[in-house]
A and B are shown apart, each in its own frame.
Chain A
Amino acid sequence: MGFLMKKRWQRRHLLEAFMKFIMRVSLVIVAAALGLILWIIVVRGLPALSWDMVTKIPEGGYYMGKGGGILNAILGSLYLAAGGTFLAMIFSVPIAIYLKAYLGDSKWGHYVRLSLDVLWGIPSIVYGAFGFTLMIALGIRASLLAGIIILALIELPIMTRAMDEVIRRMPIDLEYAALALGSTKFEVALRVVTRQMLPGITTAILLGFGRGIGDAASVLFTAGYTDRIPTSLMRPTASLPLAVFFQLGSPYPEVQQRGYAAALILTVIVLAVSLGSRWLSSRLNKYTIK
């Protein structure tokens, strides 16, 4: 009787094995793509990386292979991304709190979330073009400020949704308990939600920062490019993605090499931010009620 249950290689079993196999292959391809990207960037970027690259600004003839570095772009990108993230946070924190504390799953809450998701999908080149129209309308030139404003718009939906996703998982009982004790919704928002939001805010800041520092198409229009370190919000500024982009466009091999090195620097910053956010949110999550 027992032999009834013996493995028989029917068509469906072959299909099962085959599907499982190509699924594993797909997963390996996706993981290998990440590995390949990192490997190529490291192998090609590392030889050109030097102390000068990260501590000096371009000297005369830099773009023909002479000395200097891309400190202007590194600092410019940090200013841009930090400014954009800060500005986006001012708006995204209240929106995320409002979504949780007041709107919940109401219709308006649904529309706000939908519009955030749609904003998330608008490509940065369109934000860049929009920034350009704004700059013409307001009469400002390509500058750190314009770049920060546009990056803030790009980061806003990412950061708000990241916070929203975290606090949405917050148990509703906690909120009711606070309301039942006679708190107003604002007090609930301020005390309970914000404390619970801490991991969400941290994740959001790092996500937004990572997105902001890597964005090229929007700063192309709004922040311009310069060899100097920006000293004022109204001055144009260099950025790492554009430093990569422009240097790769150069006919000089030395300059192209530095483009790869710049790409490596950018990748390291972005990966550090991304891994940091994972680590921080896993740590912070321990201190909140799940």
Chain B
Amino acid sequence: MNQIITSKSTKETTGRLTRPVPTPRTRQNNFAQRTFFIFTLLPVSLILIVTIALLVRSWPILNAYPLSNLLFGNIWKPTNGLFGFWPFILGTFWVSIVGIILAVPLCLLTSIYLAEYAQSKTRSIAKPVLDLLAAIPPVVYGVWGLLAIVPFVDKVLAPLSDRWLGSIPIFSVNQPTGFGILAAGIVLAVMIAPLIISVMYEIFSTVPNDLRHASLAVGATQWQTIRNIILPQVAPGIIAAIVLGASRALGETIAVLMVVGNIPQVPTSIFDSAYPLPALIANNYGEMMSIPLYDAALLSAALVLLLVILVFNILSMLVIQRMLRRKWAS
């Protein structure tokens, strides 16, 4: 055996086979391994560092008021020392939920079409479209919302809703400007669609083709196959994709801020203005050092946002990664 490995490296390696004396090469390897390892600590620790930094800076206000006062307080008057996040928390959830409700059917249908029906030619057109949609910056979405969606809500959707659905509280039109939850929800739906569609598409492709063929072979239609075989298989991944999309919607700042109206109130209709947490933080960063506890209040708002999003994100990512790994394994 030794004869075969006769080459320039023989001198170096003969000793290594019997006694592990580190050669320069292995030492270099060990050093590299340690250095690389330290680099991978960065992403893992960054999550903790961000959380702790925000916690430390928001400690003064968490110390000064009970948490329930902050979270469920209705009044926001920093100059009077009143910091109630409740209207903002509700605003965040209203906007995100409307966005998700609009995005989910669109994304589910599109991803099923791309995964199960479309020819590879259609897919190769759809992929760059989704990539471009994902690449458009939030502020451009905001401009689009301002120029297209707000007038559309004002001139088309609000009158329609007023006429046909006006008696239902959540569809009643109280402030006819177009700015509000619905406009923000529509913009958000389009913004999070590319992410949700591509995650759902990946999830659908984890289903082995054998199952599709088995169902089609007995004469099922494609939709019957999807409905009976594929959807039950991928349901956890689909829900995870939706949760992931929701977490993006919760944190979106600039685009929402530009179309949502920014009035701190508890919304009752999708045509009402709202004031989500990210918009609150972004709009007031300028004066946050000028009023006592104001900076701590805004950073605690960021902390609340971060914690909710972390939970959403980690849960959905665990499910998605597990489903995708199952595909790699098979």
Contact = CB atoms under 8 A, between A and B. Distances in A.
Counting chain A CB atoms within 10 Å of each CB, the highest count among B107, B136, B258 belongs to: B136
A72 to B, nearest CB: 17
B133 interface: yes
B321 interface: yes
Nearest to B50: A130
B193 A274 contact: no
Given A94-B36, A125-B302, A184-B26, A217 B140 contact: no
A113 B251 CA distance: 21
Interface stretch (A9-17, A51-59, A63-71): A9-17
Nearest to B252: A123
A160 B189 CA distance: 27
Contacts of A62: none
Interface residues of A, number: 90
B43 A156 contact: yes
Nearest to B128: A278
A241 B285 contact: no
B44 interface: yes
A115 B253 contact: no
Interface string A96-134: 011100110100101111111111011111111110111
B251 A122 contact: yes
Interface string A1-42: 000000000001101100110111111011101101100110
Contact of A34 (B106, B132, B247, B325): B132
A78 to B, nearest CB: 14
Given A41-B144, A115-B47, A121-B309, A30 B223 contact: no
Contacts of B33: 102, 185-186
B172 interface: no
Given A30-B129, A119-B43, A153-B46, A274 B57 contact: no
Given A41-B140, A185-B33, A263-B143, A95 B135 contact: no
A248 B146 contact: yes
A117 B324 CA distance: 14
Nearest to A117: B317
A110 B29 CA distance: 22
Interface string A241-255: 100110010000000
Chain B interface extent, by class: 35 or more
Contacts, number: 272
A112 B106 CA distance: 32
B282 interface: yes
Contact of B282 (A33, A125, A189): A125
Secondary structure of the B side of the interface?
A: helix
A248 B312 CA distance: 33
Given A95-B39, A111-B44, A115-B47, A133 B253 contact: no
A216 interface: yes
A256 B224 CA distance: 52
Contacts of A132: 285, 299
A213 B32 CA distance: 33
B184 interface: no
B261 interface: no
Given A23-B109, A136-B57, A278 B131 contact: yes
Contacts of A24: 113
Nearest to B110: A26
B25 A184 contact: yes
A114 B321 contact: yes
Contact of B314 (A114, A185, A241): A114
Contacts of B54: 126, 129-130, 133
A246 B136 CA distance: 19
B222 to A, nearest CB: 6
Interface string B22-39: 000110110011011101
B109 A245 contact: no
A102 B36 contact: yes
A20 B107 CA distance: 14
A26 B105 contact: yes
Contacts of A114: 314, 317-318, 321
Given A16-B221, A41-B144, 7 more contacts: A40-B148, A98-B40, A125-B253, A129-B281, A216-B139, A267-B140, A278-B131
16 contacts: A15-B223, A19-B223, A20-B223, A23-B112, A33-B190, A34-B132, A116-B43, A118-B47, A118-B314, A119-B46, A125-B251, A129-B281, A130-B302, A186-B29, A220-B285, A274-B135
Interface of A: 12-13, 15-16, 19-20, 22-27, 29-31, 33-34, 36-37, 40-41, 44, 91, 94-95, 97-99, 102-103, 105, 108, 110-119, 121-130, 132-134, 136-137, 153, 156-157, 160, 182, 184-187, 189, 210, 213-217, 220-221, 241, 244-245, 248, 259-260, 263, 266-267, 270-271, 273-275, 278
